[in-house]
Chains A and B, each alone.
Chain A
Amino acid sequence: MSEILVECRALRRSFGSVQALRGVDLKLEPGKIVGLLGPNGSGKTTLIKILNGLLQPSSGEVRIDGRAPGVDTKELVSYLPDREYFPDWMRVSDALDFFQDFYADFDRARAEEMCRALELEQGRSIKTLSKGMREKLQLLLVMSRQARLYLLDEPIAGVDPAARDYILHTILTNYNPQGTVLISTHLISDVEQVLDEAVFLREGEVVLHEAVDSIRERTGQSVDSLFREMFRTGGREGGERNDR
């Protein structure tokens, strides 16, 4: 049995009176690409923030590689938020220097290569780049790390199809095969073929965690189709087998 990389037990998080996570139980093994799937407001971003140490749980336990989120685990986790985080003064080369200085697992040569492929010059000021290019820069920096856990929060939302293909391709060709990639999204049909496993999150709880192949064999539907069914009708079953 392979070791568990990420473990959440009865994880809860509230913001005032709003319960974002209501007791999440989850176990993730290494070497998998996992989709964290759910509608907006289901708690995906909250869960990811707890995993990367940006938020403290209200109660429950989180373990990454057996340890609680902290300085140690941040060395292992490569995080892509759903927003831009570079300061205005930075140039492309500053950003690469930054990652190289703070992350031992950063592969600078690989990052520079990806910049070249995008025709992104090192001397460009980041704030003069287009939004799409800034997002690609963030992605390539995150994927140039040989991390144990990649947390990608909505990497393809609001992105044109060509860029989306680029993003998925970049993820597939650069991730550490011994690591785990957790992709959160509500656009399931676009990422389904990239996933090993799917986790359905509804209103702060995990309602499904299964291998994609298994879902397709068991229900005769794609994960996207099952998702629509489960989240439209509010059915809590794992999807009925369609009579053909």
Chain B
Amino acid sequence: MIGKLIKYEFRSLWRRFLPLWAGLAALGLVNGFTITHVLENNRIEGLSNFLLGVLPLIMLIVLFTVLGVLTLVFICQRFYQGLLGREGYLMFTLPVSSAEHILAKTIAALLLTVLTGLAFLLSGTLLVLALDVKGFLEGMRDAFAALRQLELPRGIGWLITEGLVCGLVTAASSLLQIYAAIALGHLASRHRAGWSLLAYVGISMILSTGVFQLGSLGMGRAMERWLDRILDGGVNGAMSAMAAGMGFMILINLALAVVFFFLTKIILDKKLNLE
């Protein structure tokens, strides 16, 4: 059932995001060419050159920002309107549990974020490519050769994997924090959006003070040992320190994610009141 829900989440976003991603990639390419042109001609005076060099760049930056904001807005909207708005009449009468709904939305949102990130990457790559294909390819070849010669420390693969997991879990807990805030806002009878915002800010504040407390509690000594490991331990020491640091982040975010998930689930199960 979760798979089916995710399928419909994606059906809802294709038409809006695909052109944006395509536009981003295209603009990256265009910018590569225009910047090359401006640099080659070495003239920055003159209105036409100015427009040629700067305008596409501005458009690119604007599109980057818009896409980022749109992704966030879309994710919030899909939860707020899609589950707690009039679409909720359709969703909550499906033979699907609230846990499945929350998971499906979370996974779809994560995928959307990843895809948008990939679009950013693609755009940047195309820009560099258009700028200087030869230089780019040579640079890549050199980099790979250097990597192959480099004695990779053991466990680098694990570290990278841990990094990815850490990124995912952190993203998930951030998403679930948004969902929990929206669910908390739903408990009010009016101005629910406002209350949701307040809830989000409130949770963030609680978290940051909590971290602060933890930090001052006794982390001082742990931090010292951690720093020692980095400074004295060489590459291996640094790696294990990073692994430990990331492991810690994973644990905390996992715990947060679970708390937010159950908070949201309980509110949806017991306190649903669509209007």
Task: Assess A/B contact in the complex (Cβ within 8 A).
Answer: yes
Bound Cα distance from A71 to B92, whole angstroms: 9
> Are B87 and A87 neighbours in the complex by a CB distance under 8 Å?
yes
Tally of A interface residues using CB under 8 Å: 26
Bound Cα distance from A71 to B97, whole angstroms: 6
| Nearest chain B residue, comparing its CB with the CB of A91 | B11
> Are B92 and A54 neighbours in the complex by a CB distance under 8 Å?
yes
Partner of A102, one of B4, B89, B270: B4
What A residues does B88 contact at CB under 8 A?
Answer: 54, 85
> Are A87 and B82 neighbours in the complex by a CB distance under 8 Å?
yes
| Nearest chain B residue, comparing its CB with the CB of A73 | B95
Among A52, A72, A79, A85, chain B packs the most CB atoms within 10 A around the CB of A85
Instruction: List B236-275 residues whose CB lies under 8 Å from chain A.
Output: 270-274
Tally of B interface residues using CB under 8 Å: 26
> Are A84 and B86 neighbours in the complex by a CB distance under 8 Å?
yes
> Are A71 and B11 neighbours in the complex by a CB distance under 8 Å?
no
Interface 1/0s, chain B 146-189, versus A by CB < 8 A? 00000000000000000000000000000000000000000001
> Are B89 and A54 neighbours in the complex by a CB distance under 8 Å?
yes
Interface 1/0s, chain A 81-100, versus B by CB < 8 A? 10111110100001000100
> Are B274 and A102 neighbours in the complex by a CB distance under 8 Å?
no
Bound Cα distance from A102 to B7, whole angstroms: 12
> Are B272 and A55 neighbours in the complex by a CB distance under 8 Å?
yes
The minimal Cβ–Cβ distance linking B94 to chain A, given in whole angstroms, is 5
Bound Cα distance from A77 to B11, whole angstroms: 26
Instruction: List B70-105 residues whose CB lies under 8 Å from chain A.
Output: 81-82, 86-90, 92-97
> Are A53 and B93 neighbours in the complex by a CB distance under 8 Å?
yes
> Are A81 and B94 neighbours in the complex by a CB distance under 8 Å?
no
Bound Cα distance from A81 to B86, whole angstroms: 10
Instruction: List A11-46 residues whose CB lies under 8 Å from chain B.
Output: 15-16
What B residues does A83 contact at CB under 8 A?
Answer: 86, 89
- A selection of 27 A-B contacts at a CB cut-off of 8 Å is A49-B274, A53-B93, A54-B274, A56-B270, A56-B271, A71-B96, A72-B95, A74-B93, A74-B94, A74-B96, A75-B95, A77-B93, A79-B89, A79-B93, A81-B89, A85-B86, A85-B87, A85-B88, A85-B89, A87-B81, A87-B90, A94-B8, A94-B11, A101-B8, A102-B1, A102-B95, A102-B96
The 7 tightest CB contacts between A and B, nearest first, are: A85-B89, A75-B95, A85-B90, A74-B95, A81-B89, A89-B12, A79-B93
Give the A-binding residues of B (Cβ under 8 A). 1, 4, 7-8, 11-12, 15, 81-82, 86-90, 92-97, 189, 270-274
